[in-house]
Amino acid sequence: MSRKIVDLTMNLKTGSPVFPGYPTPIVHRWTSIEEHGYYSNLLMFVEHTGTHVDSPAHFIKDAPTIDKVPLEKFMGRGVVIDASNLPPKAAITAELIKSKLKELGVEIRSGWVVLFYTGYDAKAGTPEWFDHPGLDDSGAKYLAEKNVNAVGIDAPSIDQSPFPGHKALLPKGIVVYENLTNLKELLGKTGFQFIGIPLKITNGSASPVRAIAIIE
């Protein structure tokens, strides 16, 4: 059986774009082979930099931090919903999600990973990057009721202020992936395996990940 692995992760580098209020990330050469005999870098960035996953503690006081979330939450059978034709800051509603899933012939259940393709990863670092579509209250509650493992998007956030997506999903233990990329490659390929394992950061609100999709 043939297998294809799709990298869903943005490069993490000095100057990578971040959500407003976060510091610009720095990847600084710390040692070199020429001077020290070995090469290493110093990394300085907030947990929510680049392709990352939010823990429930990001929005919910005393909720599980990234090191306490069960590993099985960071993987699952995946589906990508095409939201690329929506206008700027449009709501991703329950009605839209149900319609797209019906077109794909998919019924999501407990343990699935639902990803949204907007195309806004191509706008990273521009003012338009923050005009992405996002889950509204109805869309977030629908996914929460389905008890999926995770929800993700190729934009800096799964929602717009006042963050209905985060507030509906995280209390249910559903983790949130942001700044994914290459989701276009997964359109129409339902049932792939998604994996996005975080660093085990003690008391972390989030962590950068190397997210991949495995298509059998």
Q: Quick check: helix, strand or coil at residue 169?
A: helix
The pLDDT assigned to 126 comes to 96
Average pLDDT score over residue span 204-211: 98
> Is the distance from CB of 117 to CB of 82 less than 8 angstroms?
yes
Structure tokens at 114: 């639902």
Average pLDDT score over residue span 71-92: 98
The pLDDT assigned to 1 comes to 67
Domain boundaries, the chain: 46-215
Q: How far apart are CA 191 and CA 152, in angstroms?
A: 15
- Span 159-181, pLDDT tens digits: 999 999 999 999 999 999 999 99
Average pLDDT score over residue span 194-199: 98
Task: Give the mean pLDDT of the chain.
Answer: 97
- Span 4-47, pLDDT tens digits: 999 999 999 999 999 999 999 999 999 999 999 999 999 999 99
Residue 203 has φ and ψ, to the nearest 5°, of 60, 25
Domain 46-215 CATH superfamily: Putative cyclase (3.50.30.50)
pTM beyond cutoff 0.95: yes
Residues β-bridged to residue 195: 75, 212
The pLDDT assigned to 2 comes to 83
Q: Which residues contact 193 (CB under 8 A, 6 or more apart)?
A: 75, 76, 77, 78, 213, 214, 216
Q: Which residue, among 189, 190, 207, has the nearest Cα to 198 in the 3D structure?
A: 207
Q: How many residues does the chain have?
A: 216
Average pLDDT score over residue span 65-93: 98
The pLDDT assigned to 204 comes to 98
- To the nearest 10°, report the CA torsion of 114, 118, 121, 124: -130
- To the nearest 10°, report the CA torsion of 193, 196, 200, 204: -130
